[in-house]
């Protein structure tokens, strides 16, 4: 416990946590204010609402890998500060354009922030690699995951409250202030180490660095296993994400309004899981965290698909959410451990579209599979994806090896 307290007193960790707090607050206010405003402005037009998701997810495919390359080129602290400042500026410009009478520019608030996030996120991983000891990486990842889990529960409430009480203009302006506050908090992060002059002045071509990053992942057995594990987790999550409502109406034979009785234990499990993961991070190896999370979540998903009782479904949802942070924390901690500083951005840039793409692919066919098979069968397939992920990382427990040498 003393190590945990000492970590919380670490100036770097405090600065990153405050920055992440403001960033999460800005993201959730923006997301829900834009969603509710578009719903109201268009009378619930499905195409307009779907374009919000396009603005949020499309940059992950187009810019994630490119952002990872530049994260490896640029100094991470400077990159993150600039990205947060530019996010703040872009949202403020959207506010001014909105005041001029063009309501459709609210989509730009999401698009610009999402693009800049693809440059900031890999730089954030690089910051941890540079400033956090390897044995503390998992605890730091779990601390951030706890913050994300809390906002998964509180974010929709805060975003809805901001829009309903103050309107779209004030919500957009508040988002800009939040991003600017996030950048201000990062000023207290230690300065970036200077790059060797040859690297800074004569970087290789963008495509060469992208190819080097892909080779690095494919030739590093551990990173390849972790990336494939992430892919299968994305496939599993994508299969069940659009189908929760059918659990209530078909499997449990309850009205759609009863969906809240599934989401409440899930949200509670997310928050408790983040806290428990942080408390145990120093005692459990990341590969074991990852394995336990994959097994419990896989079993919980299968059980959810088979359950016909509300109580059992609520318990299964709670345990799925409880162990979900362990999957992301364990996977990210292992990536930091097994990746050299010069490749951390590109490795992160490869993994983000890999998982997101898998999720979106399965979301698009989940309804078709449900109609062709059954709801229970689709949930069984999703659980199987988690078990495949477990089998992929099982060799990591047999040899807790040191980071592999560069394969590039």
162 and 283, same domain (yes or no): no
- Decide which of 150 and 391 is more confident: 391
Query: What 3-state DSSP class applies to 406?
Result: coil
The closest alpha carbon to 56, from 105, 20, 108, belongs to 108
Query: What 3-state DSSP class applies to 340?
Result: coil
Whether the per-residue pLDDT at 401 is higher than 60: the answer is no
The answer to whether position 147 is within a domain reads: yes
Cα dihedral 227, 136, 78, 113 sign: positive
State phi, psi for 102 to the nearest 5 degrees: -100, 100
The answer to whether position 406 is within a domain reads: no
The answer to whether position 25 is within a domain reads: yes
Cα Rg of the chain (Å, integer): 21
* Number of domains observed in the structure of the chain: 2
Whether the per-residue pLDDT at 195 is higher than 70: the answer is no
* Token pair belonging to 382: 């999703």
From CA 217, how far away is CA 222, in angstroms rounded? 8
Cβ of 214: how many Cβ atoms within 10 Å? 15
122 neighbors 344 (Cβ within 8 angstroms)? yes
243 and 102, same domain (yes or no): no
Whether the per-residue pLDDT at 106 is higher than 90: the answer is no
- pLDDT, residue 210, reads 81
Residue 7 belongs to a domain with what CATH number? 1.20.1250.20
Query: With a threshold of 0.85, does the pTM exceed it?
Result: no
Cα dihedral 301, 302, 305, 306 sign: negative
Whether the per-residue pLDDT at 384 is higher than 90: the answer is yes
The answer to whether position 263 is within a domain reads: yes
Whether the per-residue pLDDT at 202 is higher than 70: the answer is no
Domain that holds residue 280: 206-398
Whether the per-residue pLDDT at 336 is higher than 90: the answer is no
Query: What 3-state DSSP class applies to 175?
Result: helix
* Residue range 107-157, pLDDT digits in tens: 787 888 888 888 888 888 888 777 777 777 777 888 888 888 888 888 888
Percent of the chain with pLDDT over 90: 16
- pLDDT, residue 77, reads 86
* Token pair belonging to 340: 């050299």
* Residue range 205-216, pLDDT digits in tens: 777 888 888 888
4 neighbors 278 (Cβ within 8 angstroms)? yes
316 and 347, same domain (yes or no): yes
**Angle, CA of 269, 300 and 245, to the nearest 5°:** 80
243 neighbors 252 (Cβ within 8 angstroms)? no
369 neighbors 246 (Cβ within 8 angstroms)? no
**What is the overall mean pLDDT for the chain?**
83
Whether the per-residue pLDDT at 46 is higher than 80: the answer is no
Q: Around 384, how many Cα atoms within 13 Å sit in the side-chain half-sphere?
A: 7
168 and 272, same domain (yes or no): no
- Decide which of 6 and 228 is more confident: 228
182 neighbors 85 (Cβ within 8 angstroms)? no
69 and 119, same domain (yes or no): yes
346 neighbors 120 (Cβ within 8 angstroms)? no
């Amino acid at each position: 416990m003393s190590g945990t307290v000492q970590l919380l007193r670490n100036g770097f960790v405090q600065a990153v946590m405050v920055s992440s707090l403001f960033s999460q607050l800005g993201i959730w206010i923006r997301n829900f204010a834009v969603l509710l405003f578009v719903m109201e402005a268009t009378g619930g037009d499905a195409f307009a609402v779907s374009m919000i998701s396009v603005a949020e997810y499309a940059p992950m495919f187009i810019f994630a890998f490119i952002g990872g390359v530049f994260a490896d080129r640029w100094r991470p602290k400077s990159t993150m500060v600039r990205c947060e400042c530019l996010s703040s500026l872009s949202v403020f410009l959207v506010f001014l354009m909105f005041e001029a009478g063009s309501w459709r520019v609210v989509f730009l608030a999401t698009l610009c922030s999402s693009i800049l996030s693809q440059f900031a996120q890999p730089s954030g991983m690089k910051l941890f690699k540079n400033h956090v000891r390897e044995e503390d990486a998992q605890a730091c990842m779990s601390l951030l995951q706890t913050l994300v889990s809390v906002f998964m529960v509180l974010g929709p409430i805060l975003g809805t409250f901001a829009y309903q009480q103050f309107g779209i203009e004030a919500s957009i302006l508040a988002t800009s202030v939040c991003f600017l506050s996030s950048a201000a908090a990062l000023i207290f992060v230690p300065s970036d180490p200077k790059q060797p002059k040859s690297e800074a002045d004569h970087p290789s071509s963008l495509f060469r660095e992208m190819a080097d990053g892909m080779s690095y992942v494919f030739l590093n057995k551990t990173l390849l296993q972790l990336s494939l594990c992430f892919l299968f987790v994305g496939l599993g999550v994508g299969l069940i994400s659009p189908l929760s409502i059918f659990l209530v109406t078909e499997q449990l034979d309850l009205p759609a309004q009863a969906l809240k009785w599934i989401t409440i234990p899930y949200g509670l499990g997310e928050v408790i899981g983040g806290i428990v993961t942080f408390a145990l991070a120093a005692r459990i190896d990341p590969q074991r965290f990852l394995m336990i999370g994959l097994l419990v979540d896989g079993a919980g998903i299968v059980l959810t698909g088979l359950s016909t009782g509300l109580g059992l479904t609520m318990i299964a949802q709670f345990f799925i959410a409880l162990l979900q942070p362990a999957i992301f924390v364990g996977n990210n901690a292992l990536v930091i451990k097994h990746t050299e500083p010069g490749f951390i951005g590109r490795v992160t840039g490869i993994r983000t579209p890999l998982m997101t793409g898998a999720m979106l692919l399965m979301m698009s066919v989940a309804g078709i599979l449900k109609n062709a098979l059954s709801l229970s069968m689709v949930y069984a397939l999703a659980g199987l994806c988690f078990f495949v992920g477990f089998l992929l990382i099982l060799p990591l427990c047999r040899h807790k090896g040191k980071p592999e040498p560069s394969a590039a």
